[in-house]
Structure formats: C-alpha cells, structure tokens
C-alpha cells in the first residue's frame, strides 16, 4: 500500500497544528479526498475515541428482533469523517473466548457463524454503529462487545442481552438425580429449551421459583432456588436464596436440570379428540392434525407467554403428562399458576395430548 508517511494534518480543536508528528508512524491514508496526494491523516495525540453502550441489560425474546445500541465519538470532537472498522463480537463465559458476530468496513459488512444473515449494523444517526439481531435464538443471550477500530485507536464497550423466558426444573423419565451435565444439557435441548444460566435461574428465583431438587446450570454448577426456607431444602433458618453446591464433575455426578425457554414461534394447543389416547396414539393424533406432539419447553413457553390454560392432562413429546394453568381455580391443582405435572405414567395409560403447530 502507501509507503509514504503523509504530512500530518491536525484536526484537533481549533487547529494549532503540530508541525511534526511525535508519536507513532502512521501511514494509513484514511481520507483521500484532498486530491493533492496528501491524505488527511489524523494526528491522534490528545484525541480520544470513546465508545458508548447502555449500562443496563437489554431484553429480547426468542423469534424477536433486538437492537444493541452503540455509538462512538471523539474527544475533543473532530470534523472530518473517518474511515473505521467496526467489529461486534460475542463474549463467552468469563470473557475469555470471543466469537465474531459482524465486521464492517465502510459499507461492506460480513457476519459470521450462526449470525450469518441475521445481523446488520444500524447507522441511523452519525456515529451510530448499533447491532441489529433478527430472529433471536435462545443461545443469543450474553455479552456483546462493540469495537471501533480507527487505525491507532481501538476502543470498545459491552452490551448485555438477556432473553425474556421461563426457567423450569427437569427430571427425566427414570427419576430424580439421573443426569450428568451432558445428559442434562441434551435433555433441555431435546425439549425445545437450553440449559439455564445462573442469571436466568436467579431471575426465576426473584420471580418466585421454589424447587427443592438440585439441578445443573450452564456454568457446570449445581444449584436450586428456595423462596420458602424449610428443613430438607438447606435448613429452615437459612435465608431464601439460590442454594449452590458449586461445580460438580460433569461426567460422574448426577442431578436434575434447569432448562430455559423463551417465547414460542407457533402455537401449542390441547387436541380436541373424542377418545383418551396412549402415548403412541397421542403422537399420531397430532401428526394427523398437521402438527407435532408438543415439547416440554413449548408447553412452558405457551403457558408463560400466551397464558395457555387448560385443566386437562395431556401427553408431551418426552413421555410426560402435564397441563398448563395460567388462571388457578379449584380442581386444577395448587392455587398458584404453573405447569402441573403427572410425571411419566406408563405409555399405555390414556390421556389427552398437547400438540404444537409452527404457524
């Protein structure tokens, strides 16, 4: 590229132009519109690049769109527009790993991995480089870094995205404490959910979740949320809270799982059918209806986000039988709203069925 060290044009404040350059060598011609061969190269001594993002977390939901705001400015202000590189990355646990989301140089954008085709920059006002994510997925939650790279300067800031959702404890067919970490993760994923993070479990506890069985979380710890302290659940005299067993061995130790699901694309409904059905009949009946037997995560999502309410027990995809009550009333279980479970009755027992349809 350019080998010449261009004459420095200082754009700081009321130009008290420094004749020479006393910092780094900088030969990247950023704005070449002077026509005389001298690019506008900015002397950065004393100019600071500042990148701003909101401090509070943003909330999205599965299937929705979200904008992660990010702007930058220079202190003191500079007049000439600069050619920048913008990079959005997602940070992983403990901020050690990064995953590229989008890189933009001028009008050229590129997105990566699972974000391909789902992200773009929003630049509605000068100096805005917000990231729009479409069709949010469960695994999109987390911290995103907005990085502005201006040759010499490279500044960044963080935005946190959370998903509105529902955390539920999960026990498999063969009973309590049967899942190692990997099985627990699969159990959640096979039911249209993912393993919950600590933040998600904590938020669920704040909203009243009380569950006296320990379950795996995404960070490899085993915990459980208690709102009403009692003897078998960490002691009567302890404060309410999320009880923590700490990190456990991911292969050897077995617990339940906490799963997380967010809003639902499509709908869950109780199939009106003249007969009660065995599990196999139930699965077929949904297919006959142009649908599929609903998954546990889908039933929870429909209850939480769409107030699905039905006082009839029905089969679900994992072989469990449950029913969702959004408006508690006599003869429909406890006085709180919730998804009631009959556990895993034998597959020949007869019940109704909940089906799921994409649209």
Binding region for ligand NAG (CB under 6 A) = 2, 29, 32, 35, 64-65, 134
* Phi, then psi, of 302 in degrees rounded to 5: -65, -35
- Of 134 and 238, CB closest to ligand NAG: 134
Q: At residue 10, what are phi and psi to the nearest 5 degrees?
A: -90, 130
Q: How far is the CB of 304 from ligand NAG (least distance, A)?
A: 17
User: CA-to-CA distance for 341 and 335, rounded, in angstroms?
Assistant: 15
> Which residue, 218 or 263, has its beta carbon nearer to ligand NAG?
263
Q: Are 294 and 279 in contact (CB under 8 A)?
A: no
Cβ proximity of 70 and 80 under 8 Å: no
What's the min distance (Å) between Cβ of 351 and ligand NAG?
Answer: 34
The three-class DSSP label of residue 228 is coil
**Nearest to ligand NAG of 95, 134 (CB atom):** 134
User: Would you say 32 or 213 has its CB closer to ligand NAG?
Assistant: 32
SS3 298: helix
Q: Cα(221)–Cα(231) distance, rounded to whole angstroms?
A: 22
CB of 132 to ligand NAG, least distance (A): 8
Report how far residue 245's alpha carbon sits from residue 252's, in angstroms, rounded to the nearest whole number: 15
Candidates 80, 83, 58; CA nearest to 140 is 58
**Nearest approach, Cβ of residue 171 and ligand NAG (Å):** 33
Neighbouring residues of 235: CB distance < 8 A, sequence distance ≥ 6: 229
Nearer Cβ to ligand NAG, position 40 or 147? Answer: 40
Q: Tell me how far, at minimum, the Cβ of 35 lies from ligand NAG, in Å.
A: 5
In the numeric block, the tokens 């404060």 are attached to 239
CB of residue 199 to ligand NAG, shortest distance in Å: 24
**In whole angstroms, how close is the CB of 63 to ligand NAG at the nearest point?**
6
Q: Which is nearer to ligand NAG, 38 or 244 (CB)?
A: 38
Other beta carbons within 10 angstroms of residue 236's beta carbon come to 10
Compare residues 135 and 206 and give the one whose CB is closer to ligand NAG: 135
Decide whether 10 or 263 has the Cβ nearer to ligand NAG: 263
Task: Give the dihedral sign, CA 30/31/34/37.
Answer: positive
Please name the helix (run of DSSP H) or strand (run of DSSP E) that holds residue 144, with its range, or none: strand 142-150
Q: Of 65, 102, 128, give the one whose Cα is nearest residue 263.
A: 65
User: Residues 6 or more apart from 3 whose CB is under 8 A from it?
Assistant: 27
Q: Closest approach of Cβ 339 to ligand NAG, in Å?
A: 25
């Amino acid at each position: 590229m350019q080998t010449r060290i261009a004459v420095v044009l200082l754009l700081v404040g009321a130009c008290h132009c420094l004749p020479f350059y006393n910092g780094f060598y900088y030969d990247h011609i950023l704005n070449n519109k002077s026509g005389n061969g001298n690019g506008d190269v900015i002397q950065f001594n004393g100019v600071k690049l500042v990148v701003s993002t909101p401090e509070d977390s943003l909330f999205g939901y599965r299937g929705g769109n979200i904008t992660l705001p990010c702007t930058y400015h220079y202190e003191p202000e500079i007049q000439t527009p600069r050619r920048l590189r913008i990079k959005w990355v997602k940070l992983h646990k403990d901020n050690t790993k990064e995953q590229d989301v989008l890189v933009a140089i001028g009008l050229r954008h590129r997105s990566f991995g699972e974000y391909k085709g789902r992200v773009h920059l929003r630049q509605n006002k000068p100096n805005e480089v917000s990231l729009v994510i479409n069709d949010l997925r469960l695994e999109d939650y987390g911290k995103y870094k907005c990085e502005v790279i201006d040759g010499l300067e490279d500044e960044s800031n963080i935005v946190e995205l959370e998903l509105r959702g529902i955390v539920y404890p999960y026990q498999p067919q063969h009973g309590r404490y049967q899942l190692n970490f990997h099985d627990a993760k699969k159990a959640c994923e096979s039911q249209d959910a993912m393993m919950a993070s600590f933040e998600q479990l904590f938020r669920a506890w704040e909203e009243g979740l009380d569950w006296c069985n320990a379950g795996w979380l995404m960070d490899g710890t085993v915990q459980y949320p208690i709102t009403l302290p009692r003897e078998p659940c960490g002691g009567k005299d302890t404060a309410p809270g999320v009880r923590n067993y700490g990190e456990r061995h991911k292969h050897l130790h077995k617990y339940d799982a906490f799963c997380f699901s967010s809003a639902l694309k499509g709908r869950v409904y109780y199939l009106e059918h003249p007969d009660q059905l065995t599990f196999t009949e139930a699965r077929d009946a949904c297919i006959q209806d142009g649908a599929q037997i609903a998954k546990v995560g889908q039933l929870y999502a429909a209850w939480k986000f769409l107030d699905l309410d039905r006082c009839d027990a029905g089969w679900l995809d994992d072989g469990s039988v449950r029913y969702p009550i959004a408006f508690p009333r006599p003869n429909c279980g406890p006085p709180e709203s919730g998804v009631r479970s009959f556990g895993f009755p034998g597959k020949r027992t007869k019940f109704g069925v909940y089906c799921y349809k994409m649209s």
